[in-house]
Each structure stands twice: as C-alpha cells, then as structure tokens.
C-alpha cells in the first residue's frame, strides 16, 4: 500500500466518524453556508501572475515545512501580496491542517479559498461550503469517472468551483466533463513524490481550452512560470516556496512583482 492508498483509507474512516458527530443537515445551517462564493477561475483569467498561494504546515514527503506561523497572518500576507487565491490544507494526520484553518483564513481575507483535501464524499463538499471555501479539489488518482461527475456536479449545485487534479494522460482523459472549472496538473507523483514540471507541458495539449489550466508543485522560480505560460497555463499553485520562509506574504509579494515586470 502506497502513501496515497493509506491517506484515502484513513480519510474514509475520518469522514464516517464526522458524519456521526455533525450531520449534513447541521452543516447546511452553518452561518457561512449561505455566503456567496468568489470565483477563482475568473481571478486567474484576469491576472498577470496567476499565483495560488498555499498554507501548508507539513507533508508526507517533506515532513515539517513551517509550524510557527498562524494562518490568519499568512492569509492576510498573501492577500496583500495580490495572489489570485489561497489554498488551505485541511487534512490533519498527514498535513497538519484543519477546517479551523479554513475558517480563520475566511475570517481574515476576501481572497478565493481552495479547500485542499482528499475528497471522497459529498459530505466533505458540504463541510467546505459551511466553512468558507470557494473552490474544492478533486484528485483523479483516487476517484472513478462516475465519482468525479457526481462530486463535481454536487459542488456546482453548492456554487463551489472545481479544480480537478491529474497526474497523467489516463487520469486526464477519464476526467474531462462540463462540471469542472479548472484542470490542474500536479507535477508531483503522489505515489513516489518525484517532481517534474515537464508533466504539465506534456499534458497541456490534451486539456481543452474551456478549462483554466493550473500547474501544481515544483514551481519555485519566475522562469518556470514564464515557461509554463507558453503552454497555456493561467494558474500556478505554490506552497513550499513561500511557506519555508518566515514571511510567506512578503515572499509572495516579491515573487509576484518579478512576474508582473
């Protein structure tokens, strides 16, 4: 069993327990559930930089990244820097995140927020909406085509945008459907954690133009982004590059300033 299989097995147990603690109906009564969401895809289309900055404390591949910063400061710093959106890790066991991080980020900024999570159940979409998310992530590697369709259509009904993440052509081809807003190519192999941005380049020609293209992982320089833009990418998810510093917002601002020259 690889790390991705372990994460999903644990996630199924976690979701089952959460359903016993807070019902789906209760989630629809949360104050934030009626909040009007903000479009990340539109922000990316109109941006020169296309940066989606991430709050991530740790990961299975890199262990501790940064445990010392609070999410409110990071969120405000990112918004001040002019990012298009913010990705918030909510998995606790493997990434040190929580839904509290999402709530605190929402309370701090108006930036579009992506709930970055291993989503396997509609319940998690209700959680996302109830806790202030604008966008949800679906990972093709852990979902069937029918599951992607069901989850993405349910997300649409909640006015949540969908970023679908793929790692290879097979995942991409099974995933294309109208209920997606953005197609993300993760340059990190989730099974062995190797990173190669050429994956984004290779898959770019197979992504239809109606989807906003997003490249994820392994993006640490302005040159890499300028190169990927040539392949039609409008969004660039960056986490560790900013989070490994003492001031992610300042680092993001300097990075974006270079991009917008």
Mean confidence (pLDDT) of the chain: 94
Q: What pLDDT band is residue 3 in, cutting at 50, 70 and 90?
A: confident
CATH number assigned to the domain covering 3-259: 3.20.20.70
pLDDT of residue 65: 61
- 């992610």: which residue's tokens? 248
* Residues in CB range of 132: below 8 A, 6 or more apart: 32, 35, 102, 103, 105, 106, 107, 113
Predicted confidence band of residue 191 (pLDDT cuts 50, 70, 90): low
For the chain, what percentages of helix, strand and coil (3-state, to nearest 5) are there?
Answer: 45, 20, 35
Average pLDDT of span 128-142: 97
Domain boundaries of the chain, sorted by first residue: 3-259
Instruction: Quickly state the pLDDT bin for 260 (edges 50, 70, 90).
Output: confident
The mean pLDDT value for 72-83 works out to 97
Active site residues: 54, 56, 116, 165, 186, 216-217
Question: Which pLDDT tens digit goes with each residue over 78-99?
Answer: 999 999 999 999 999 999 999 9
Percent residues over pLDDT 70 in the chain: 95
Q: How confident is the model at residue 190 (pLDDT cuts 50, 70, 90)?
A: low
């Amino acid at each position: 069993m690889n790390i991705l299989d372990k994460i999903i097995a644990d996630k199924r147990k976690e979701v089952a327990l959460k359903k016993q603690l807070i019902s789906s109906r209760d989630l629809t009564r949360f104050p934030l559930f009626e909040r009007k969401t903000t479009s990340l895809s539109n922000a990316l289309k109109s941006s020169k930089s296309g940066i989606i900055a991430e709050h991530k404390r740790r990961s299975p591949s890199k262990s501790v990244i940064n445990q010392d910063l609070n999410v409110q400061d990071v969120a405000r710093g990112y918004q001040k820097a002019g990012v298009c959106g913010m990705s918030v890790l909510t998995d606790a066991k493997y990434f040190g995140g929580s839904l509290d991080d999402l709530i605190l980020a929402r309370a701090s900024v108006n930036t579009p927020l992506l709930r970055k999570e291993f989503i396997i159940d509609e319940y998690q979409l209700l959680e996302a909406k109830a806790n202030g998310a604008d966008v949800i992530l679906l990972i093709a590697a852990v979902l069937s085509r029918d599951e992607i369709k069901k989850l993405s259509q349910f997300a649409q009904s909640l006015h949540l945008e969908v970023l679908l993440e793929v790692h290879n052509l097979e995942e991409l081809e099974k995933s294309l459907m109208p209920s997606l807003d953005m197609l993300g190519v993760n340059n990190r192999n989730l099974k062995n954690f190797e990173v190669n941005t050429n994956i984004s380049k290779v898959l770019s020609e197979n992504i239809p133009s109606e989807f906003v293209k997003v490249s994820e992982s392994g993006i640490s320089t302005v040159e890499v982004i300028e190169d990927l833009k040539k392949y039609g990418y409008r969004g660039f998810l960056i986490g560790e590059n900013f989070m490994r510093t003492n001031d992610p917002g300042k680092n993001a601002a300097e990075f974006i300033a270079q991009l917008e020259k």
